[in-house]
Structure 1
Amino acid sequence: MRNEHELRKSVVAEMHLRRWPQLQPGMTVIQVLRQVADEEREIEQESLARLPEGGAVEPSPNPRHVQGSFGEGIDFGWERHSEASATTLFISRGAGIALDPQGDEAVSRALDWADSLPGKIVRATRIAIVADMTEAAALLPRFAFEPLDLVSCDIAGGARIWSDFRLREDGFGAVLVAANGLPPGDLSRTVQRLQELGNYRNLALLGLPVAQAGWKVLDGIEAELATLGTRVARSDVSDDELLKQVTDLSMQLMTQTASSDFRLSATEAYAVLVEERLEDLCIEPVPGFQSLADFTQRRFLPAIRTCAAHRRRAETLAARTAQFVSLFRTRVETRIENQNGRLLHSMEKSISTQLRMQHLVEGLSVVALSYYAISLIGYMLKGAEKFDHDISSGVIIAVLTPFVVAAMWLAIRSMKQRILHHD
């Protein structure tokens, strides 16, 4: 087609991700969810290309989703998420495989391959699917669920599940599902949503240890902020000392926020997905048993609230730190203004003194210049007395002295005006 958008095929392929094959009673689903680092993605792709003998991969329009088979009755799917990857085995060799997968050689090889994939395991589950309550009752004792932790409820309008959500010795959790007449397509979507609920729940809970560890750091920051708040009002504490402390505190808070923000933001996003999956499963409680909704709400929500409280507290401390910095800046600006005021007052006194000194110098200059001028005139008149004895130099000097002084004052004043108004 002409003028096709470069992302059209990726968008269409995205809409077909996360699809599972149709599940039937008598099947076992084994899924491993791993948190995979960016540097491990290349190794992961190499592992997907190295399937054990008999394995084959189906063509896929999107590299984030791979489907294939390990032989008759063992299919697999691999899906890449933003920070994790899910590997799922679909085994059509009886629900009892969920109890002892190592007893089947082909299943054991498939599990060994799944175990070789890189990443840290976040969740691993074995799901046994049976036809009805009769088959479930026969198989239930073999699962040896913990009675006090047993969760059992109806989901999706008829199917029923059992699990204690505890880890077995091999590191897997176990779930028993009775289809109870649920069509294969609906059964597949229901079990997939059930798994997504557990996966998103575990990914969300990864933020809890981060929040708990960060809580102690925030306690220290809050206590130090309180101390700084009292010290900023004391005049005996230097600005340099306060600046160093508030800078160290700000850096500590920024480091804590930067190290935890991604994890806690992811927890918030996963928590929304958990709520959506709970709603999609249409959970109906069974008398005498704890339902999946009760189990999730009772244990999951407090952890999510702790993570949310950590983020809110960090934001509050950041705002308080900003207020303290503003208060500290006001203190510094006030001191600078006071210093500038004192400096201006000192400069004003200095200028006033200089002005008085200048007037004094001007007066002395008039006197000195007048004295020299009158002296010169006196010498001239004394010389003239020798030629004309009628000339009285003393009288003439006495008469000229006021005029000479006035002339000198006017001359100096005129020169001063020209200098001051010169462009």
Structure 2
Amino acid sequence: MHEHEWRRQIVNEMHLRRWPVLRAPMQVVQQVRLVDDAARDAEWAAWAAMPEGGEVRRADRRHVSGTLAGGVSFTWERHSEASTQTLFAPLDSDISAAIAWMESLPGATVRATRLVIVADEADAAQVMPAMGLVHDDLVSCHVAGPMRIWSDFHIGEDGYGRMLVAACGLEGGDLTRAVQRLQELSSYRNLALLGLPVARAAWPRLDQAEADLRRLGEALTRDDVRDDDLMDQLSGLSLAIAAVASTTDYRMSATAAYALLVEERLADLAPRPIPGFLSLGEFTQRRFLPAVRTCAAFSRRERQVAARAGQFTALLRARIETRIENQNGALLASLERSAVRQLRLQHLVEGLSVVGISYYATALIGHVLEGGESLVHFDARLAVGVITPLVMLATWLALRHARRQVLDHPSP
């Protein structure tokens, strides 16, 4: 069989990011880390330096699963810009060593949470006091059918958020998929919100760019400002706007993509409110949507400012081209005037040439006639006077013929 080079890659993609089957009671600890390309090799090498007693059951560049010492299961998942490490252990087991190893992996943590899963709400009431959740900020609702969650979505003193989950009848694969979607919702939400600080930090740069564009627009209407100076300022401003785009476009695009994933996960979980508590849907929509819309507004504004700078550049080019055309028109008019003057001078010279040539011609003829006057009796002066108009006419006709010959048959 001749396989396509990507066949196994795309088939394996459908089997990535699988969790072990969850059974209440148990605990789940997860970290999401941003890992740059330079640290990817170090991250991959960390699996070869697992604590003693660890075992990797499945490993490729996108997904790793296995067990650590003490029977703690783990999964590692690689995303486009982040990595997720998740630990699974019985509720009463000590996983401090596994957590310490997980925290030593490369990357900057953007989300860390401890999840406690119990069988029902009665068990949840017994575990709740020990979790230290802030009651005034408590979010609680049913998700994925009967399952109920509690969380204040705060970061604890140890750097972890906490969530309590009551399975309430969900078991096996249904419970696993529900908890996984719940974790993915929070992870994608945090990754999406990374765009908000970027948009806020770059917003004043767009304010400055728009102020500079207004100033340049006013300068474009003035004749005392040099085009070269305007072009230099506009080029510098266009570069500044391009720099804003190059440093923010990826983050804004990522925010938009993650926001769509959050909406999908939220729809899959289908949260149902519980009276007296803020639901997961309300908590997510209350601040998440405004943040995402802020990032979208920033992207639109950046494109608008860039387009306006392009319009100003086009106007300045039109102004320069118009001035060049006016200068060319004035130059052509000057050349035309010079040509007319040269033509008039040429006619004047031509007329003087007729007079000069005729003068010398009649003088020569006069000398000839004076010499023949002694042989043949006639008045030489009278003869010269009669011949002079004829000589001038002949000279004028000859010069005119020569000029026509030159104009009608120009030299190559």
For 1:307 and 1:83, locate their aligned partners in 2 and report how far apart those are by CA, in whole Å: 19
User: In structure 1, what is the equivalent of residue 66 of structure 2?
Assistant: 68
Aligned equivalent of 2:82: 84
Show the 5 A alignment for 1:34-49. 34-49=33-48
Alignment partners' CA distance in 2, 1:36 and 1:408: 99
Q: How many residues align?
A: 410
Q: Does 1:358 align with 2:346?
A: yes
Partner secondary structure for residue 9 of structure 2: helix
Shift of 1:267: 0.2
**Residues in 1 aligned to 2:102 and 2:119: alpha-carbon distance in whole angstroms:** 28
Which among 343, 350, 356 is matched to residue 368 of structure 1?
Answer: 356
Q: 2: CA distance between counterparts of 1:143 and 1:6?
A: 50
Distance 2:129 2:362 in 1: 135
The match for 2:24 is: 25
Instruction: Give 2:257's match in structure 1, choosing from 269, 289, 312.
Output: 269
Match of 1:293? 281
Secondary structure of the 1:59 match is strand
Please give the alpha-carbon distance, in whole angstroms, between the structure 1 residues aligned to 2:283 and 2:385: 121
Counterpart of 1:101? none
Q: Residue deviations 1:118-151, cap 9 Å, x none? A: 1111111111111111111011011111122111
Deviation, 1:77, is 0.6
In 2, the alpha carbon distance for the partners of 1:273 and 1:284 equals 19
Instruction: Specify every segment of 5 or more residues in structure 2 that has no aligned partner in the other structure, as ranges.
Output: none
More off after superposition, 392-401 vs 164-173: 392-401
Q: Is the 8 A contact 2:146 2:170 kept in 1?
A: yes
Shift of 1:279: 0.4
| Alignment correspondent of 1:391 | 378
Q: Which amino acid aligns with 1:156?
A: A
Q: CA deviation at 1:108?
A: 2.5
Tell me the residue number matched to 2:241. 253
**From 403, 409, 414, the counterpart of 2:396:** 409
Map 1:306-385 to 2 at 5 A: 306-385=294-373
Looking at structure 2, the residues matched to 63 and 261 of structure 1 have their Cα atoms a distance apart, in angstroms, of 27
1:11 aligns with 2:10: yes
TM-score of the two chains, using structure 1 as the length reference: 0.94
**Residue pairs, 1:97-246, within 5 angstroms:** 104=94, 107-246=95-234
- Distance, in Å, in 2 between the alignment partners of 1:227 and 1:63 is 53
SS at match of 2:75: strand
What runs of 5+ residues in structure 1 fail to find an aligned partner?
A: 98-103
Letter in structure 2 aligned against 1:16: H
SS in 1 for 2:405: helix
| 2:407 alignment counterpart | 420
Q: C-alpha separation between the residues in 1 aligned to 2:400 and 2:109?
A: 96
User: Match for 1:415: what amino acid?
Assistant: A
Aligned-pair Cα RMSD in Å: 1.3
Rounded Cα–Cα distance in structure 2 between residues aligned with 1:117 and 1:397: 122
| C-alpha displacement of 1:404 | 1.2
Task: Kindly provide the amino acid, as one letter, of the partner of residue 121 in structure 1.
Answer: T
Secondary structure of the residue aligned to 1:17 is: coil
Report runs of 4+ in structure 1 exceeding 4 Å deviation: none
Using the alignment, how far apart are the partners of 1:224 and 1:320 within structure 2? 11
The two structures have a TM-score, normalised by structure 2, of 0.97
CA separation in 2, counterparts of 1:215 and 1:63? 37
Q: What is the CA-CA distance between 1:341 and the residue it aligns to?
A: 2.0
- % identical aligned pairs: 54
Residues of 2 paired with 1:203 and 1:372: CA distance? 104
Deviation of the 1:186 alpha carbon: 0.7
User: Once the 2 structures are TM-superposed, how far is the Cα of residue 42 of structure 1 from its aligned partner?
Assistant: 0.8
Structure 2: how far apart are the matches of 1:58 and 1:371?
121
How far is the alpha carbon of 1:305 from its aligned partner?
0.8
- Measure the CA separation in 1 of the matches of 2:107 and 2:361: 106
Q: Which residue of the partner structure matches residue 100 of structure 1?
A: none
Q: Distance in 2 between matches of 1:115 and 1:277?
A: 27
Q: How far is 1:58 from its partner?
A: 1.2
Name the aligned partner's letter for residue 46 of structure 1: A
Cα deviations by residue, 1:213-236 (Å, 9 ceiling, x for unpaired): 111111111112122222211112
| Shift, 1:329, TM fit | 2.0
Match of 1:283 in 2: 271
Counterpart residue number, 1:305: 293
Report SS of the residue matched to 1:394: helix
Cα separation, 1, equivalents of 2:385 and 2:270: 125
